[in-house]
Amino acid sequence: MGDDSRTLWAHPRLVSALARDDWAAVFRLFRRLEGVSQAKLGERVGLAQSDVSDIERGTRRVTSVEVRRRITEGLCVPPELLTGGARPHSGPVAGLALPQMAPDGDLLARVTSVVKGSTRADAPTLDWLDRLLAEHRRAEDLIGSRPLVDVMREQLRTVMDLHPDAGGPLADRVVRLAAEHAQFLAWMAQDQGEAGAAVAWYDRSHEWALEAGDANMASTTLSMKAHLAWSGGRGTRCIRLAEAARWSAPGVSRGVQGMAAQMAARGYALNGDGNGARRLLDEARELIAAAAGRPEDEPPWMYFYGETWFTLQRGMAELHLGDWQRAIGNLTTGLGELPDDFRRDKTWYRACLAHALSGAGETSEALKAALDCLPDASAIGRPHSWGELHKTAGVLMRKGAKEGRELLGALREFD
């Protein structure tokens, strides 16, 4: 492959997949970029086509040192990606390339000294920590929450160490940054099914947001607590928290209001109130359109919020309401427009699509959608995507479809 391999291995998603040892993703993306079949890829790395297929599906793990060596040599992986040089591990987590967000040498020294215990705070240091948090949020979309928890705990400690030395507006900014970190930690706890820890972190984030006068973060924490209530099947609590998110903090941006309105719609859908759900969804869509016209008014953590995300949320509401065709239409449209960088979200919505297809009686399509997302659901989608696939298997079994047994068998292989 020669120089072509260098160009290929400059692809950030391919490098990220290699860094986290996700050989299924490496094979799939490599084949797509090179335009080769599973058989041709197998010839390059000394594996049978069936072995390549099993690795891509996640039913075979690459654990042998010898097999790893054959793969990396056959795919012409640059040595520096294997020995640490330019591999993304030079950043805080796999998939983050530190050079593209690193401060100048003097600022890097100050940030490093903060990690070691210094309490010096200044605006450039906080600017860099803001950027670092934004990069970690985007990394979590791709690699899931588990690799990031310890990193973010340490990063929050760094922020808190800055507070005693900060005064005036700088102190408010430190508290605001701490609130953002706590909200992110809460979300990651929620993603891993740790509801108690999530509530504790959301409460801490809300308290700090109020102290810093950050209406958008105060509202967001309430919306996310509503999301937590929704995930626990508590529709009325979801509605009440979402309404509090929308109205209790004056000065909230249109996008954050829209998220709260959509979250309340989830609660109504969960309670089986289609009129209430669709009314609020229509309201949320108007707020999204207004927010899109003034993106500068939106906080940085709302980067994901837009028409695609809203279409997927509408599909989720229709799923709760049992309108299978509307759910399938919205979920299919949204998934078609959702970038691959949102790997965790794609996994979740694919699992929801499988559920909707099973509800509609489209059993073969439901099985295909479920199997397509099963490896990612196992790797980064537990417990939520994983649970949704089990629901899909249950629906198919109740319908007496053979696909239900097939899906259940596939799920057991990953347990």
Confidence at residue 3, expressed as pLDDT on a 0 to 100 scale: 47
Band (pLDDT 50/70/90 cuts) for residue 90 is very low
Most confident among 117-131, 163-177, 229-243 (mean pLDDT): 229-243
Q: pLDDT digits over 204-259, tens only? A: 999 999 999 999 999 999 999 999 999 999 999 999 999 999 988 788 999 999 99
Q: What's this model's pTM, rounded to 2 decimal places?
A: 0.71
- What pLDDT score does 342 carry? 92
pLDDT score of 4 more than 70: no
Give me the pLDDT at residue 353, please.
98
Position 329, amino acid = G
pLDDT for residue 22: 84
Q: Which domains does the chain have, with CATH numbers?
A: 3-83 (1.10.260.40), 324-415 (1.25.40.10)
Dump pLDDT digits (tens) for 325-337: 999 999 999 999 9
12 token code pair: 């950030």
Closest CA to 126 of 95, 160, 92: 160
pLDDT of residue 122: 85
Q: Of the candidates 153, 109, 101, which has an alpha carbon nearest to the alpha carbon of residue 132?
A: 101
Answer for the pair 62, 86: CB distance below 8 angstroms, yes or no: no
Contact (Cβ atoms closer than 8 angstroms) between residue 282 and residue 268: no
